[in-house]
C-alpha cells in the first residue's frame, strides 16, 4: 500500500538549461568586468583589466552597488546589452 | 482526530501541495532525508492531517501567497508555510508568529537572499514581543537562547526550512557560508517584558505596548559576555564596549549592527541607576568609538584596520542606530550575550532589522 505526504518545496522540478557555448576567441568582443560590490573587488579587477588590455582586448567595467543585494533584472539586462562576455570578480 | 477524519472524508481535502507517495515499507522520516527536505535533523512528515491541523492556527487562506522566497524566488503560499511548520515541529498556534516572521524576512531591506548566500555566519534571528510570546509559551528566561522550548526551537527552524525547501537555499549551493553557525538551525526567543519600566524592543521600534511583534535581525550567536565585577552603569558600559569592539575583528568598524541580550543581573545595575533603553543603547554606541590610531591597518603586522588617513579620527564601531538591547535570561548570572550582525552593511540603510506585527 502507498502512503503519502505533502511536498514542502516549490514543486519546480529542476530542468537544467544547456549552457551557452563559450566563444572560440575573445578577439573583437567586449569583456564586462563585473564588480559585485565587495570592498576590494576594484583592486582585483584593475589587475585583470590591465592583463586583458595588454593583449589588446576591449573591456568595460560593470557591476552592482553592494554585495548585500542581488543585481536587479534591469541592471543585468543593461549589462547584457553592453558587453559580450562577463567576468565576475566574485567574493574576497 | 478531527483532522484525521477531515483528511479521510473531504475527498481531495483542502490541500493543493502535490502528494509524494511512499510505500508502507518506507520510514517517512527517512523519505524526507532522502529528498533533501531537512536541515540535517529529522523532520515531522507532513501528512494531510498534520497540515490541516496546522492551517487551523491561522485565519489566512491556504492559497494566499506570502511572497517569493530566495534564492529561486519561488512563490510561497500559507499552505507551504504550514507544511514546513509541520516538518519543523511547530504547533498550530505558532503559525501567526511564523507568518509574520516570514513577511519580515521578505522585506527588501532585510536582504534575505544576501543573508542566505553570504560567506559570513548570519541567518535570521527572530525576537518575539508582546502577549503572543506568553500565550504560546515562549522562553525569555533561563536558557532563552538555548534548547528546550518548543516554540523557540521550532519557529526559527521553520523559517529556515522554508528558505531551504521553498526557496531552494541549500548549503554548498546558494548558501555559501564559509563555516556556518549553529544559529542557522534556529535562533528565536522572546524578550523579557516582566519589568513595566522597561521599554520593550517592539515599542522602541514603533509599535504600541500590548501589540505582538516579531523582529528579525541578520546575525549569529550567541557570543558570551562575562563581567562579574563591574557595579556601575558607566563601568559596565565600558566593559561591554571591550567585548563589542572585538566583534568580527577588533579593528573592523562601521559595517555592522549587534544585539546585546541583557541578562537580569546586568540589567539591575542599569535599572538601579535609572538608565533606560535609550540611554543604555546610546552609551554603548559612544563607548565603542575609538581613536583611529589604535586600530590602524598594518599595526604590528595586522592587516585588518582603518587606513592611515583616519588615524586622527574618532571611529565608531557601529552605525549610530546599530545597537539593539533585548532583555532575556535567567535570574542568576552576571553574564549577557552579544549577537553579532552580518558584516555587510557599509551603509546603514543598506540592510536593516525588520519588525512586523503578529496578526491572526
Alpha-carbon distance B241 to B192, whole Å?
Answer: 23
Which tens digits make up the pLDDT trace of B212-268?
Answer: 999 999 999 999 999 999 999 999 999 999 999 999 999 999 878 999 999 999 999
Q: Which position has the grid cell 512528515?
A: B45
pTM of the complete model: 0.86
* pLDDT for the residue numbered A14: 45
Alpha-carbon distance B141 to B265, whole Å?
Answer: 12
Q: Select the residue of B28, B76, B113 nearest A70 (Cβ to Cβ).
A: B113
Q: What value of ipTM does the predicted structure carry?
A: 0.87
Nearest-Cα residue of chain B relative to residue A5: B47
Alpha-carbon distance B185 to B41, whole Å?
Answer: 9
The whole-number average pLDDT for the span B307-328 is 96
Write the burial class of residue B246 (CB in 10 Å: 0-12 exposed, 13-18 middle, 19+ buried). middle
The whole-number average pLDDT for the span B156-176 is 96
Q: Are B119 and A92 inside 8 Å of each other by CB?
A: yes
Q: Are A68 and B165 inside 8 Å of each other by CB?
A: no
Which tens digits make up the pLDDT trace of B96-126?
Answer: 999 999 999 999 999 999 999 999 999 999 9
Percent of chain B with pLDDT over 90: 92
Cell numbers representing residue A6 in the block: 505533502
Residues in chain A: 92
Cell numbers representing residue B257 in the block: 549592527
Alpha-carbon distance B330 to A92, whole Å?
Answer: 41
* pLDDT for the residue numbered B193: 98
Q: Are A8 and B87 inside 8 Å of each other by CB?
A: yes
Cell numbers representing residue A22 in the block: 563559450
Interface test with B, best of A15, A37, A68 (most B CBs within 10 A): A68
The whole-number average pLDDT for the span B308-333 is 96
Report helix angle B2-9 to B48-55, nearest 10: 110
Q: Are B51 and A6 inside 8 Å of each other by CB?
A: yes
Q: Measured on CA atoms in the order B121, B218, A45, A73, is the torsion positive or negative? A: positive
User: Is A3 in the B-facing interface, judged by CB distances under 8 Å?
Assistant: yes
User: Is B163 in the A-facing interface, judged by CB distances under 8 Å?
Assistant: no
* pLDDT for the residue numbered A70: 84
CB distance A63 to A34 below 8 Å: yes
Rounded to the nearest 10°, the torsion over CA B39, B44, B46, B49 is -160
**pLDDT category, A92, cuts 50, 70, 90?**
low
Q: Are B165 and A67 inside 8 Å of each other by CB?
A: no
Q: Are A11 and B18 inside 8 Å of each other by CB?
A: yes
19-78 in chain B: CB under 8 A from chain A: 19-24, 28, 31-32, 37, 45-48, 51, 69-70, 72, 74-76
102-131 in chain B: CB under 8 A from chain A: 108, 111, 113-114, 118-119
In sequence order, the 6+-apart residues with CB closer than 8 A to the CB of B230 are B236, B239, B269
Residue A41, min C-alpha distance to chain B (Å): 14
The B188-190 sheet, strands edge to edge: B188-190, B123-129, B213-219, B354-357
Q: Are B47 and A66 inside 8 Å of each other by CB?
A: no
Nearest-Cα residue of chain A relative to residue B351: A68
Strand intervals (E) in A1-92: 2-6, 30-35, 58-63, 85-89
On chain B, the residues whose CB falls within 8 A of the CB of A42 are: none
The whole-number average pLDDT for the span B297-325 is 95
Q: Are B168 and A10 inside 8 Å of each other by CB?
A: yes
* pLDDT for the residue numbered B347: 78
CA B338 to chain centre: 13
78-107 in chain B: CB under 8 A from chain A: 80, 83-84, 87
**pLDDT category, A28, cuts 50, 70, 90?**
very high
Write the burial class of residue B141 (CB in 10 Å: 0-12 exposed, 13-18 middle, 19+ buried). middle
User: Is A67 in the B-facing interface, judged by CB distances under 8 Å?
Assistant: yes
Scored b (16 or more CB within 10 A) or e, B143-165 reads ebbeeebebbbbbbbbbbbbbbb
Amino acid at each position: 500500500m502507498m502512503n503519502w505526504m505533502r511536498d514542502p518545496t516549490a514543486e519546480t522540478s529542476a530542468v537544467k538549461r544547456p549552457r551557452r557555448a563559450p566563444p572560440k576567441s575573445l578577439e573583437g568582443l567586449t569583456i564586462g568586468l563585473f564588480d559585485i560590490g565587495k570592498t576590494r573587488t576594484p583592486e582585483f579587477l584593475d589587475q585583470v583589466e590591465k592583463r586583458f588590455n595588454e593583449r589588446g582586448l576591449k573591456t568595460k567595467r560593470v557591476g552592482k552597488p553592494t554585495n548585500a543585494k542581488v543585481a536587479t533584472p534591469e541592471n543585468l539586462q543593461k549589462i547584457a546589452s553592453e558587453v559580450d562576455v562577463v567576468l565576475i570578480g566574485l567574493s574576497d | 482526530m478531527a483532522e484525521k477524519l477531515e483528511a479521510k472524508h473531504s475527498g481531495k481535502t483542502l490541500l493543493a501541495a502535490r502528494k509524494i507517495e511512499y510505500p508502507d515499507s518506507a520510514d517517512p522520516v527517512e523519505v524526507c532525508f532522502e529528498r533533501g527536505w531537512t536541515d540535517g535533523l529529522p523532520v515531522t512528515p507532513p501528512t494531510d492531517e498534520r497540515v490541516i491541523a496546522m492551517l487551523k492556527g491561522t485565519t489566512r487562506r491556504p492559497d494566499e501567497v506570502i511572497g517569493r522566497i530566495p534564492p529561486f524566488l519561488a512563490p510561497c503560499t500559507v499552505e507551504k508555510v504550514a507544511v514546513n511548520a509541520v516538518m519543523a515541529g511547530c504547533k498550530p498556534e505558532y503559525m501567526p508568529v511564523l507568518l509574520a516572521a516570514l513577511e519580515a524576512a521578505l522585506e527588501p531591506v532585510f536582504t534575505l537572499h544576501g543573508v542566505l548566500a553570504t560567506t559570513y555566519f548570519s541567518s535570521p534571528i527572530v525576537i518575539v514581543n508582546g502577549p503572543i510570546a506568553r500565550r504560546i509559551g515562549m522562553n525569555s528566561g533561563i536558557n532563552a537562547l538555548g534548547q528546550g522550548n518548543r516554540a523557540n526551537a521550532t519557529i526559527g527552524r521553520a523559517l529556515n526550512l522554508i528558505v531551504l525547501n521553498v526557496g531552494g537555499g541549500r548549503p554548498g549551493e546558494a548558501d555559501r557560508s564559509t563555516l556556518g553557525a549553529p544559529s542557522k538551525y534556529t535562533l528565536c526567543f522572546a524578550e523579557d517584558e516582566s519589568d513595566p519600566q522597561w521599554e520593550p524592543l517592539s515599542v522602541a521600534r514603533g509599535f504600541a505596548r500590548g501589540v505582538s511583534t516579531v523582529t528579525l535581525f541578520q546575525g549569529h550567536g550567541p557570543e558570551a559576555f562575562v563581567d562579574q565585577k563591574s557595579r556601575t552603569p558607566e563601568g559596565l558600559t565600558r566593559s561591554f564596549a571591550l567585548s563589542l569592539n572585538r566583534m568580527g575583528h577588533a579593528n573592523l568598524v562601521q559595517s555592522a549592527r549587534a544585539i546585546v541580550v541583557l541578562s537580569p543581573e546586568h540589567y539591575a545595575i542599569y535599572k538601579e541607576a535609572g538608565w533606560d533603553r535609550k540611554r543604555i543603547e546610546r552609551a554603548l554606541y559612544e563607548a565603542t568609538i575609538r581613536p583611529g590610531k589604535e586600530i590602524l591597518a598594518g599595526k604590528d603586522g595586522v592587516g585588518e584596520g582603518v587606513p592611515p588617513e583616519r588615524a586622527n579620527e574618532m571611529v565608531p564601531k557601529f552605525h549610530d542606530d546599530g545597537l539593539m538591547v533585548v532583555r532575556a535570561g535567567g535570574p542568576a548570572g552576571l553574564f549577557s550575550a552579544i549577537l553579532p550582525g552580518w558584516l555587510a552593511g557599509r551603509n546603514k540603510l543598506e540592510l536593516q532589522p525588520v519588525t512586523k506585527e503578529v496578526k491572526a
